[in-house]
Amino acid sequence: QVQLVESGGGSVQAGGSLRLSCVASGYTSSSYCMGWFRHAPGKEREGVARIAGNGAAIYADSVKGRFTISRDNAKNSLYLQMKQLKFEDTAMYYCAARRETFCSRDTGAYNYWGQGTQVTVSS
């Protein structure tokens, strides 16, 4: 069983930065697709960024140019560097893993999920 634990969330003013981390334990593979999703009150869970086993990264249009996803397979870790944060980035952020090399935008395609870390951006 794979466990994912996120950290790094917090409160920040608009324009600020945060770096989220996700550590995986249990059986994991560097070939797994990993992704960050977020869920804001009153909205559906949405994909923020995902990185395939081959390192290819995909971003939601709303975060392109501001967020960067990366992974350190030696540390079983996934990161999300967030810059120029906006009020609308406020949400619970979740790390997810998929037992496939290539990613999917479908949240149902992910096999493992973390408990989430809250990001709050004040305007």
pLDDT digits (tens, 9 = 90+) for 49-108: 999 988 999 999 999 999 999 999 999 999 999 999 999 999 999 999 999 999 999 999
What is d(CA 13, CA 86) in angstroms, rounded to the nearest whole number?
8
Q: How far apart are the first and last CA of the chain?
A: 40
| pLDDT given for residue 123 in this prediction | 87
At 32, is the pLDDT very low, low, confident or very high (cuts 50, 70, 90)?
Answer: very high
| pLDDT given for residue 27 in this prediction | 77
Give the CA-trace dihedral at 24, 27, 31, 37, to 10 degrees.
-40
Q: What is the DSSP letter of 75?
A: G
pLDDT digits (tens, 9 = 90+) for 1-29: 899 999 999 999 999 999 999 999 987 78
